[in-house]
Copies of this chain bind each other. A is one copy, B any other.
């Protein structure tokens, strides 16, 4: 983080106390001192601060530190602190997910992360899916309730985070928030009514800065809050944060960025252009489809290896963070998207499912049982599972996964054809989100979900919503980039027409009807 790129700065002005020879007013005296430290740029002081500045300056004998933030061509004062103390200042970046919020506390002077916590979005009690929340917002008091739910919980968590790190709320002087368009609207108390109704218009694409006081966030009342812009109802600030975090717009080479959540969001581009689209490819990959499907969490299977000779399953689970392996000792409790991809890939490579994704009874042997007339494959028997229940994979689960992977591959094909960039010209394929952290690209290629590119092309970025938000918290260059990204994106409306359906049908095989598209898989299978 370059000092002269900082969005928020701590500044220690040299202030002479007032005298008959210099009767400059208190506020103007402070502004003058700050300007001298800020290269002469104008420093503006909001009216709500003016009321208490004289007292603050006098209490500290005119020895103060100021916190300021850049707003266009000028700086704005956030607060002043006792100049005799260290006066460290902090910022928060928030990944505002519809299921989970991840909150990071950053020391603004060093750019270092102090702490990070994640917690459930309490709006889940209204509805797990976004449409339910939008409808609820339209009822009397609904919007206020949804906003209060998330803000109250956020304030509680900020309180905990501050206390545990010995940080005063007042010294938290800035915040950035990246979330999808609906979550952002609910966070700001804006009516999402038109987001889900044709022609799908948000209230705002680029919210202006708003201070914490106006929003009701209990940090420094004058702390600026930057809420990430969106491109439209279905392309939110979380993905813009992802593009920012991937740095794909800094290079000449063309990259893909894929973020799989409730939707699969796909971006292709380079420093000159960006195209994006989104499609319903996600549920099976996140948690929604498989019987034993779960969100990635400790104790959940995220990798599977099947011995081709013995058909023995070796499953890996996500370890508990920082604690003992008690959860793992209890055995796996479910499977996440990446585990599911691994599993189906292995089943395919070992011949236990065929190229249409159907169980091959001969190969599955006694692992295949029928329940309610549907084939189920025993993955973890009851005695080895953490829940005491067997973990099984049904034919329906596989069919669901195949639909999701086919949708993903079709979207990728469609968007790359639209921009006339063949897969072979893709330099980097970024995978964002929790899903991206655990996915094994080899397996995803094996089932034909993603193109058959060299494995090193695939880069997992983790929580890019959070890392993009953190970049914007720290630097104005990043803020400029994100607005540039927003303005640059061409959004491709996916027409589910005959061509799309043909591509989709062809992709509903393992890995694809056209095996020449997946030479590496062909080699493995043969």
**A interface residue numbers (CB < 8 A to B):** 18-20, 22-28, 42, 44-48, 50-51, 53-55, 72-74, 188-191, 194, 198-208, 210, 214-215, 230, 232-233, 491, 493
Contact = CB atoms under 8 A, between A and B. Distances in A.
Given A47-B210, A194-B54, A199 B27 contact: no
A203 B199 CA distance: 51
B45 A201 contact: no
Contacts of A189: 51
Given A18-B201, A24-B201, A25-B205, 15 more contacts: A19-B199, A20-B200, A23-B201, A24-B205, A25-B203, A25-B232, A26-B204, A28-B204, A42-B72, A44-B208, A45-B208, A47-B188, A48-B214, A50-B190, A51-B190
Contacts of A53: 203
A204 B50 CA distance: 7
Contact of A205 (B27, B54, B208): B27
Contacts of A18: 194, 199, 201
Nearest to A195: B25
B50 A188 contact: yes
A47 B199 contact: no
A141 to B, nearest CB: 15
Contacts of A26: 194, 201-204
Given A203-B25, A204-B28, A214 B47 contact: yes
B214 A20 contact: no
Nearest to A194: B54
Contacts of A208: 44-47, 50
A25 B199 contact: no
Contacts of A24: 201, 205
22 contacts: A20-B493, A22-B199, A23-B199, A23-B200, A23-B232, A25-B201, A25-B204, A25-B205, A25-B232, A26-B203, A27-B204, A27-B206, A47-B207, A47-B208, A47-B210, A47-B215, A48-B214, A50-B203, A50-B208, A51-B190, A54-B194, A55-B191
Contacts of A28: 204-206
A62 to B, nearest CB: 11
Contacts of A51: 189-190
A282 B481 CA distance: 60
A88 to B, nearest CB: 28
Contacts of A20: 198-200, 493
A514 B201 CA distance: 82
A207 B50 contact: yes
A205 B18 CA distance: 13
A54 B203 contact: yes
A202 B47 contact: no
Contacts of A188: 47, 50
Nearest to A235: B23
